[in-house]
Structure 1
């Protein structure tokens, strides 16, 4: 299970490297202009098509209506954005921390993987949103059930990718460290952890994105606050410009997650390229 998911994580990592041109020194003004022009064409084309065909706003509002609604209602949306960020950061911190600890344990003690792997497989294949109603019954409509759901969604992703990174360290480097008298703990911190950093960052990025999706889904299932609650409210009131405005905010949050881990990888794991 860990090897297959590790391959997926590795492919994602290669994809991140291939997208590094967005911040690369070789970027030309012509390429930047082409990117901006494409964005204007796509957005402008959507605006024109929706107005020409007179598509009702309650089905699909034009981009201008979405931006206008977002600016107008942003003071009302901002507190809910704060709630979602609190849930995401809290659940992700718990899930990522436990995931990395478990990754280190199963790497150093292979027998532990035989015990832990079935439960991790269950967590990976079980949609966490299905557990939210049960968590709400136990913990109420506050932060607790949402944070637990985010932790359960993000933790396995971090664990699987981190464990794959720990295992992919060159055995010759480990043998060299042992020949110099390094202990198992020293080998882990000085050899395995630094060499596994790219895969760890990929796991953290995937875990954070899964956590964001789970946080929004949990807010849609139950509770009176959060961006997910706004989606449910605007949808029920057929306020589609506001609805898509919240969707735009969530998309920007996802992009921000990618940019953060891309910059961290560029600073601390650029040697992999």
Structure 2
């Protein structure tokens, strides 16, 4: 394989292309193999926990976790709603600001020099460390959690989007300018489409960090949200219910990956 091909595969663009173009399931035998592995892992865990008579408050069986999810779903689902509100509002605010800042700093280098140190500060500072301070100033409601989620998502979206906006074909830009294209037209018609793979990666990373931050913020206090239920269930040794919430969070994480993989295929399939 040539050096240029290796370089392309190792670049952010190559990684982004892989987001929506990984190995596909080709036939029913592969589906059955995936199911068989899941059955072996889950069934094996069920058997071993029962065989060694592990107490449920130490480690519940998979069947106990699923049962707890259905039996106590009415208790859990309102808190799922609270978490989704925090995520949707905080993520939308953070991603929007991050995208806007990425567009500004790539068009105005002087602005980038001013705000880059502060962006790096946000990226390197765990947002969960700020949650107690936010709670102190804004109370135990939605506000501190939404702010924390926005601060976690924004820098991730901004950094990846800015990287994408800089990955341009200067020949295309020169050609567009020769036909009289404005800066705005060049940005929307050339820079944005070419940056789409990195934008999607930034959006996905921002979403993942948002979930982590939201759950951590909820565990810090407030009495509502999935993170709060994790704290409540663990402190009362309701381990099956605790893992039921973990299962919901895992499904949310898988959903985020699947959605952005689909989005990458639709909007940036050319990259692969």
Distance 2:58 2:92 in 1: 38
SS of residue in 1 equivalent to 2:237: coil
Find the counterpart in structure 2 of residue 268 from structure 1.
267
Q: Which residue of 2 aligns with 1:4?
A: none
> Which range moves more in the overlay, 38-47 or 243-252?
38-47
How many Å apart are 1:53 and its aligned residue? 1.6
Taking the aligned partners of 1:8 and 1:211, their CA distance within structure 2 comes to 25
Q: Structure 1 159/19 Cα, relative in aligned 2: closer, same or farther at 3 Å?
A: same
Quote the Cα distance in structure 1 between the aligned partners of 2:85 and 2:221: 16
The two structures have a TM-score, normalised by structure 1, of 0.93
After superposing the two structures, state which structure 1 stretch, 40-49 or 81-90, moved more: 40-49
Q: Which residue of structure 2 lines up, in the alignment, with residue 224 of structure 1?
A: 223
Separation of aligned partners in 1, 2:192 and 2:209: 23
Compared CA separation, residues 63 and 10, structure 1 to 2 (3 A): farther
**Partner in structure 1 of residue 112 of structure 2:** 113
Q: What are structure 2's unaligned runs of at least 5 residues? A: 1-9
The answer to whether residue 22 in structure 2 is matched with residue 19 in structure 1 is yes
Distance in 2 between residues matched to 1:60 and 1:185, nearest whole Å: 57
Q: Distance in 2 between matches of 1:157 and 1:248?
A: 25
Query: Matches of 1:259 and 1:140 in 2, distance apart?
Result: 35
2 CA distance for matches of 1:262 and 1:56? Answer: 39
Q: Distance in 2 between matches of 1:43 and 1:168?
A: 44
The number of residues matched between the two structures is 263
Structure 2 distance, partners of 1:180, 1:230, is: 60
Q: Could you say which residue in structure 2 is the equivalent of 1:130? A: 129
- The corresponding residue for 1:3 is none
Sort the Cα spacing of 1:231 and 1:97 in 2 relative to 1 into closer, same or farther, 3 A. same
C-alpha displacement at 1:49, in angstroms?
A: 1.2
Instruction: Give 1:47 deviation, angstroms.
Output: 0.8
| Cα distance between partner residues in 2 of 1:14 and 1:235 | 40
Structure 1 residue 56: deviation in Å?
A: 1.5
Gaps of 5+ in 1: 1-6
CA distance, structure 2, for counterparts of residue 144 and residue 8 of structure 1? 38
Match of 2:3 in 1: none
1:61-100 → structure 2 map (5 Å cutoff): 61-100=60-99
Q: Secondary structure at the match of 1:210?
A: helix
Q: Is the 8 A contact 1:12 1:202 kept in 2?
A: no
Q: Is 1:140–2:139 an aligned residue pair?
A: yes
CA–CA distance in 1 between the matches of 2:11 and 2:221?
32
Output one character per residue of 1:161-210: Cα deviation in whole Å (capped at 9) or x when no partner. Answer: 00000001111111111111111111000100011111101100100010
Question: C-alpha distance in 1, partners of 2:12/2:149?
Answer: 19
Q: Is the 8 A contact 1:9 1:161 kept in 2?
A: no
Q: Which residue of 1 aligns with 2:181?
A: 182
Distance 1:46 1:11 in 2: 37
Is contact 2:20-2:262 (8 Å) kept?
no
Paired position in structure 2 for 1:205: 204
Q: Is the 8 A contact 1:9 1:203 kept in 2?
A: no
Q: What's the secondary structure of 2:24's corresponding residue?
A: helix
CA RMSD of aligned residues (A): 1.4
Distance in 2 (alpha carbons) for counterparts of 1:159 and 1:52: 51
